[in-house]
Amino acid sequence: MTSIAYQIDVRALDDLPSRDLYALMKLRVDVFVVEQACPYPELDGKDVDALHLRLLADGALLAAARILKPEGPEKPVKIGRVVVSPTHRGKRLGDRVMQEAIREAERLYPGRPIALSAQSHLERFYRALGFVPVSEEYLEDGIPHVDMLRESPRK
């Protein structure tokens, strides 16, 4: 495992320069659609209102996640589209991007739980970050998933 010096960048969609947006969408399509052989609507309309957290090194996109604001007063904040560049796997960047996304979600929405829809084979990874399953396994776009929740410290 190699230690990588990275920068964290969190922006709304409208604040992403076009080339950065292109790199982000390309990475997500390359991994979620092509690599996982899963044709589904990657551009789902949720990016417009999301915050996009990126880990960068020398301008190169290493990993990313999006943070979706709660849909109501009692609803959790959601983290999704967690992705690590195939060329940077094995460096624990999944841990890093999730830790940064959790930190940002808790900063923006203190006291709110954090929800995510995890691919089932990653359940152990998310459990190590404090998430617990809150649903039975289900298929989403042909891939087994489980809903998970992480309780946040109260305000």
Residue 115 belongs to some domain of the structure: no
Residue 131 belongs to some domain of the structure: no
Number of independent structural domains in the chain: 1
The residue segments making up the domain with residue 72 are 7-109
CB atoms within 10 A of CB 88: 18
Residue 130 belongs to some domain of the structure: no
Contact, 13 vs 21, CB < 8 A? yes
CA distance 148 to 155: 21
Residue 104 belongs to some domain of the structure: yes
Contact, 123 vs 108, CB < 8 A? no
Residue 150 belongs to some domain of the structure: no
Q: Would you write out the chain's pLDDT as a tens digit for each of its 155 residues?
A: 456 788 999 999 999 999 999 999 999 999 988 888 888 888 889 999 999 999 999 989 999 999 999 999 889 999 999 999 999 888 889 999 999 999 999 999 999 999 999 999 999 999 999 999 999 999 988 889 999 999 976 65
Residue 147 belongs to some domain of the structure: no
Residue 120 belongs to some domain of the structure: no
DSSP codes, 77-98:
EEEEEEEE-GGGTTSSHHHHHH
Residue 56 belongs to some domain of the structure: yes
Residue 27: give its domain's CATH number: 3.40.630.30
